[in-house]
């Protein structure tokens, strides 16, 4: 039985998930947005940043997201930004399918991450990710445009947003261009922690 297709992101209070330019990905606003992640024990262990880190519900949610994911899908913009920023042992530890126009051989990294490059559309990429996931869930890791493509195509079953108490003002909005006339949401869970509010929704077509 195939698992769910989902995405999980951090979002500013005014609806942005990333700065407009990839050059600002490690800037002050983005670091504030992701601050809740950086502090967690699971994040530190996953990136081999050493011992320590917070434990609690935020940490549990990060670990649960990692454990449910059998494969990831991402867009070329996200891959390009991460290719040189990720450590040698990329932080996914699963097959990762990159939606792109270019042809490229698979790229294997230490620790179980192998990038596959698919240039014939989002559905073909998802088919490959589902096969690679072996029955586990598939996470659409990003970026915003890729998430929106899958959402508008009716291919997302569920998503989670960690709403962070930070304002961007400009950047990439998560739902900019969403086909709101065909998508309905059902709230699955809402949990507040001292740092963020976690919201989870099931997706169905109107």
List the chain domain ranges: 5-205
Cα–Cα distance measured from residue 136 to residue 148, given in angstroms and rounded to the nearest whole number: 22
For residue range 11-61, list pLDDT tens digits in order: 999 999 998 887 777 678 888 999 999 999 999 998 888 888 999 999 999
Report how far apart, in Å, the C-alpha atoms of 113 and of each of 4, 93, 96, 146 are.
20, 4, 7, 20
Fold classified for 5-205: Dihydrofolate Reductase, subunit A (3.40.430)
Report percent pLDDT > 90 for the chain: 80
Residues 6+ apart with CB under 8 A from 33: 10, 11, 12, 17, 164, 166, 168
Mean pLDDT of 86-113: 94
168: pLDDT strictly greater than 80: yes
202: pLDDT strictly greater than 90: yes
pTM, two decimals, is: 0.94
Mean pLDDT of 81-99: 91
Per-residue pLDDT, 26: 66
């Amino acid at each position: 039985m195939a698992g769910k297709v989902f995405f999980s992101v951090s979002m500013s209070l005014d609806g942005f998930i990333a700065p407009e330019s990839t050059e600002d990905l490690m800037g002050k606003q983005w670091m504030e947005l992701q601050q809740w992640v950086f502090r967690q024990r699971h994040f530190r262990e996953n990136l081999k940043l050493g011992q320590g880190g917070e434990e609690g519900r935020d940490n549990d949610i990060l670990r649960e997201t990692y454990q449910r994911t059998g494969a990831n899908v991402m867009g070329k913009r996200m891959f390009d930004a991460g290719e040189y920023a990720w450590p040698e042992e990329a932080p996914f530890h699963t097959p990762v399918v990159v939606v792109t126009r270019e042809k490229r051989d698979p790229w294997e990294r230490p620790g179980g991450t192998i990038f596959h490059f698919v240039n014939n559309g989002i559905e073909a990429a998802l088919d490959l990710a589902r096969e690679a996931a072996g029955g586990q869930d598939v996470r659409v890791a990003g970026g915003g445009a890729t998430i929106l493509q899958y959402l508008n195509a009716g291919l997302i079953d569920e998503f989670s947003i960690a709403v962070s108490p930070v304002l961007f003002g400009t950047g990439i909005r998560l739902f900019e261009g969403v086909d709101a006339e065909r998508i309905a949401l059902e709230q699955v869970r809402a949990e507040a922690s001292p740092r963020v509010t976690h919201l989870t929704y099931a997706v169905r077509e109107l």
